[in-house]
Structure 1
Amino acid sequence: MKILAIETATEACSAALLIDEAVSLRYQVQPRMHSQLILPMMDELLAEAGLSLAQLDAIAFGRGPGAFTGVRIAAGVAQGAAFAADLPVVPVSTLAALAQRAFRELGWRRLLPAYDARMQEVYWGAYGVDEQGLVVSQVADEVSAPDRVTLPEGDGWQGVGAGWSSYRSLLEQRLAGAVEAVNGELLCSAQDVALLGAAGFAAGRAVAPEQALPVYLRDKVALRPGESRQK
């Protein structure tokens, strides 16, 4: 299996090429440079492997939630490359990819990834790890105020992502002692988008390029004066 994955939803910009079980990665933390970095990263990986786009099985991308501009970049680049090479696309939740990285690098298995969604809200999800070492959603990705997140069952959870850096006290108060460890510095990586994308492709979850859409979780980017957000 040959999957090219891209991820631009956070401060990190990355691309990864998965060939069977081997993954090559390009990764840079360069905010506001994603549109300049991502295409050269993709080209470098393909050239290094001696492959063209048309020789791939699919393209995977971090579909969001995350920074609006970054999510749009990933979706647009994935669509354009897939159209050009007549390839299917596998959208991957960026919260799932963050959870996958935390499992891969830290060994954590009960994961609460969270991104800062601005406007005093967080993008949020809850994930466990299956027998194949892949994260599985336990609570659907959502956006809410930190003190209104959906409570997962049980305890022994680990919080990961910038949402924990921004709102740790509120989240820990809301979760009432269910969290045993927190890493607020870890960012999403295309390596984990590639791993989850390969699993999604094998499971038949690839879509046509025109169906590879970003997921924002928020319908409105800004509120008018005097409005309040309802949840």
Structure 2
Amino acid sequence: MKLLSLDTSTELCSVALWLDGDTLVREELAGQRHSELLLPMVQELLTEAGLDLKALDGIAFGEGPGSFTGLRIGCGVAQGLAFGADLSVAGVCTLLALAEASGASRVIACLDARMGEVYHGVYEKIEGEWRTLSAPGLSLPQQTPDVAGEHWTGCGNGFAAHGEILRSRYAGQLVEVMPDVLPHAAQIAVLGAAQFKRGLGMDAAEAAPLYIRNKVALKTSER
């Protein structure tokens, strides 16, 4: 399977080509420059691999949660490329991508959602397959989901922004915290390939960001 993947959900802009298990990657801390960087990175990878977009089997993208603007850019570019090359797409949850990046089997994934909140999801890998124990959600860090047992890994920049609260929240249950991990196209590719193999690709017109939150800033009265 040959798959293009991309993620623009955070300040990190990343693109990957999945070539039957081998992966080529481009990444850059983009700030607000995702729309400027994304397509040139895609073209660089295709040129390096000697492939045309139409030779691919599909496109996977980080559907969210994450930055509203970043998610719109990533989804829009995935749709545009897919329409032009007549390819299917697969949206991959960025929190699940954090779990995949951690290398652990029991993961509490948290992304900084700003406004004093975190996006969160809880995952466990059993016999090589991820199971969602708590679906992606949004809450104050002290109100993240309960987990059972020990040997959990905390992953994502939510643990950088609210580390003290989250470590206290899961006191005695965490064996490791990985606060610097961000969603990345390399893991989007792995998870996207699995979705395509299960027949879960969709028409580009059906692709949509997973926002979770419905506003991007607090009103003055809420601050």
**Structure 2 counterparts to residues 129-148 of structure 1, below 5 A:** 129-132=125-128, 134-148=129-143
Q: 2:166 aligns with which of 171, 175, 180?
A: 171
Q: Which runs of 5+ in 2 are unaligned?
A: none
Give secondary structure in 2 for the equivalent of 1:200.
helix
Letter in 1 for 2:6: I
State whether structure 2 residue 217 is matched by structure 1 residue 219.
Answer: no
Q: By how many angstroms is 1:54 displaced?
A: 1.1
Give secondary structure in 2 for the equivalent of 1:159.
strand
Structure 2 Cα separation of the partners of residues 224 and 188 of structure 1: 29
State whether structure 2 residue 133 is matched by structure 1 residue 119.
Answer: no
Q: By how many angstroms is 1:220 displaced?
A: 2.4
Letter in 2 for 1:116: D
Structure 2 Cα separation of the partners of residues 44 and 225 of structure 1: 44
Q: By how many angstroms is 1:222 displaced?
A: 3.1
Q: By how many angstroms is 1:225 displaced?
A: 4.3
Give secondary structure in 2 for the equivalent of 1:118.
coil
State whether structure 2 residue 93 is matched by structure 1 residue 93.
Answer: yes
How many residues are aligned here? 223
Structure 2 Cα separation of the partners of residues 8 and 129 of structure 1: 25
Structure 1 Cα separation of the partners of residues 216 and 29 of structure 2: 25
Give % identity: 44
Give secondary structure in 2 for the equivalent of 1:81.
helix
Letter in 1 for 2:137: E
The one-character-per-residue Cα deviations of 1:62-96 (angstroms, maximum 9, x if unpaired) are 00001111111110100100111111100000111
Structure 2 Cα separation of the partners of residues 68 and 219 of structure 1: 10
- The aligned counterpart of 2:41 is 41
- The aligned counterpart of 2:144 is 149
- The aligned counterpart of 1:12 is 12
Q: By how many angstroms is 1:174 displaced?
A: 2.1
Give secondary structure in 1 for the equivalent of 2:83.
helix
Tell me the C-alpha RMSD between the 2 structures.
1.5
Structure 1 Cα separation of the partners of residues 222 and 200 of structure 2: 38
Structure 2 Cα separation of the partners of residues 47 and 75 of structure 1: 22
- The aligned counterpart of 1:61 is 61
- The aligned counterpart of 2:76 is 76
Structure 2 Cα separation of the partners of residues 59 and 182 of structure 1: 31
Q: Contact 2:115/2:218 (CA < 8 Å) preserved in 1?
A: no
TM-score (norm 1): 0.92
Structure 1 Cα separation of the partners of residues 189 and 109 of structure 2: 18
Letter in 2 for 1:183: M
The one-character-per-residue Cα deviations of 1:109-129 (angstroms, maximum 9, x if unpaired) are 211111110111000011112
Letter in 2 for 1:43: Q
Structure 1 Cα separation of the partners of residues 156 and 82 of structure 2: 30
Structure 2 Cα separation of the partners of residues 43 and 111 of structure 1: 34
